[in-house]
């Protein structure tokens, strides 16, 4: 296999949880490309491939190394143009950046707070120390205080999904009749929550829950290859 | 002129303010299509063109009548395919529905609250009565109580624009290098606020403000043809 995807994991190497890595797993499957997953802990990332990146996903495709889930999607679209499109044209490529902005600015912060102790507890000791130090610096407070703030996020999370509910009145995927990378962007955030947190953020009967289940079914149920926490 | 756009106005017929009508004005200009604007009050809408619609915009294009800004954009894209695209392909068409969902679920409610008395006061007496009754039913409280809630929205509005700020790190428009209908969707919301409310929702130096100014410049400064409140 010439294609290798470095994926963030805790002590259980079979449960990659990074939202960004999930975007890339689905992007590769969307293009019909095989890949091996190489699980890594937080503190191993800067040592990968001669220190080429500080973030995952990192994809090796033959001689090519690409990091960042959006850059990888752009790379795959250019390198494999004859395979199913990830963007549906130039407009879709541009608007996927807005979807990324919405997902990262609206969904990631509350999920990060809700799941912060679950993530911490899932890590190897060396990665726990790194995670505590970096996240306490980022949030300006202790992990425990961030987790306490996350309890309020549980109440308000569902309301943040209203833009998706509006869109789903018209079509089954953000990409229209079929999923595109924009779907994988939002799926990645909710898959992260599904894998790391025992809290269920999507209620049965919610159209967003139906959409998420459709995404879990895609590409032979790739998203279901890791069970919910 | 065979093309006529019915546009919502108050007593000043030169200041159409509907966010949805602004989306269509820019869509028509984007396609390079001339049109006459026919100003109407809220209570005139159901009487237009033999009662074909309850909402504006309503576009008459020769024999064709189309209402709803998104449906009009889809119609224009199909009817005038040789002119500049409003969507940039099928992916962009689908993702514009998500942008619409975000704009209408995230930006419209606070702008509606912030500007509710300004809108009311700008209307003809017959439209004021309709507006009060319909909005008090929609919000479940008096216009005055909704306006009071809008004062809190002023504090939190800027934070809602974070998805745009993320996108603007990569490109000058939601549509990429050039504006697309998705830009006009969000522009419409902020243009509505600009025209009806003396509150300035965008701060100088904010990248969203810079983007909005770029949108005001488009199509020979069409957005600037109505001054700020």
In this predicted structure, the answer to whether residue A1 has a pLDDT above a threshold of 80 is no
Judged by average pLDDT, the poorest of A48-52, A58-62, A114-118, A161-165 is A48-52
Strands A58-61 and A3-8: antiparallel
Best to test chain A binding among B73, B91, B104, B184 (most A CBs inside 10 Å): B91
B32-35, Cβ contacts within 8 angstroms, sequence gap of 24 or more: B32/B83, B32/B84, B33/B3, B33/B76, B33/B80, B33/B83, B34/B1, B34/B3, B35/B1, B35/B3, B35/B4, B35/B5, B35/B59
Cβ neighbours of A176 in B, within 8 Å: 90-91, 93-94
Domain B3-79 in CATH 3.40.640.10: no
Q: Which residues of B touch A77 (CB under 8 A)?
A: none
**Per-residue pLDDT tens digits for B103-116:** 999 999 999 999 99
CB-count burial class (<10 Å; 0-12, 13-18, 19+) for A34 = exposed
**pLDDT at residue B1, rounded to an integer:** 63
pLDDT digits (tens, 9 = 90+) for B48-69: 999 999 999 999 999 999 999 9
Dihedral angle of Cα A13, A14, A19, A20, to the nearest 10 degrees: 70
pLDDT for A2: 84
Dihedral angle, C-alpha B184, B188, B194, B196, nearest 10 ° = 160
Q: What are phi and psi of B81, to 5 degrees?
A: -70, -20
> Which chain B residue has the Cα nearest residue A71?
B170
| pLDDT, position A81 | 98
One of 1.20.1050, 3.40.50, 1.10.150, 1.10.3470 is the CATH number of B90-116+153-225, namely 1.20.1050
Q: Indicate the SS3 state at residue B177.
A: coil
* Residue among B89, B96, B101 with most chain A CBs within 10 A, to mutate: B101
Tell me the per-residue pLDDT of B218-229, one tens digit each, with 9 for 90 and over: 999 999 999 999
Q: Which CATH class is domain A90-225?
A: mainly alpha
Across the interface, whether the CB atoms of A91 and B182 are under 8 A apart is answered: yes
User: Cβ separation of B102 and A102 shorter than 8 Å?
Assistant: yes
Q: Which of B89, B105, B167 sits opposite A92 (nearest CB)?
A: B89
Question: Does position B130 have pLDDT exceeding 90, yes or no?
Answer: yes
Residues of B in contact with A167 (CB under 8 A): 97-98, 100-101
Domain boundaries, chain B: 3-79, 90-116+153-225
Task: List all residues 6 or more positions away from A122 whose beta carbon is below 8 Å from its beta carbon.
Answer: A10, A11, A12, A15, A17, A196
Report ipTM for this prediction: 0.97
Residues of A contacting chain B (CB within 8 angstroms): 85, 87-102, 104-106, 162-167, 170-171, 173-177, 180, 182
Distances (CA, A) of A121 to A172, B51, B144: 36, 63, 50
């Amino acid at each position: 296999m010439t294609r290798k995807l470095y994926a963030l994991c805790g002590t259980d190497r079979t449960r990659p949880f990074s939202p960004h890595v999930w975007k890339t797993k689905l992007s590769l499957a969307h293009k019909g490309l095989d890949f091996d997953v190489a699980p890594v802990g937080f503190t191993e990332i800067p040592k990968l491939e001669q220190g080429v990146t500080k973030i995952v996903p990192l994809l090796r495709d033959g001689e090519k190394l690409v990091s960042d889930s959006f850059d990888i999607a752009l790379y795959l679209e250019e390198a494999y143009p004859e395979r199913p499109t990830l963007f549906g044209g130039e407009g879709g490529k541009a608007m996927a950046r807005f979807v990324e902005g919405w997902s990262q600015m609206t969904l990631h912060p509350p999920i990060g707070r809700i799941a912060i102790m679950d993530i911490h507890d899932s890590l190897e000791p060396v990665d726990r120390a790194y995670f505590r130090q970096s996240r306490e610096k980022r949030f300006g407070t202790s992990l425990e205080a961030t987790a306490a703030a996350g309890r309020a996020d549980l109440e308000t999370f569902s309301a943040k999904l209203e833009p998706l509910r509006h869109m789903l009145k018209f079509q089954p995927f953000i990409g229209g009749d079929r999923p595109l990378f924009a779907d994988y962007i939002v799926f990645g955030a909710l898959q992260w929550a599904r894998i790391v947190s025992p809290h269920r953020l999507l209620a049965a009967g919610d159209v967003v829950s139906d959409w998420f289940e459709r995404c879990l079914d895609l590409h032979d149920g790739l998203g279901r290859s890791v069970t919910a926490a």
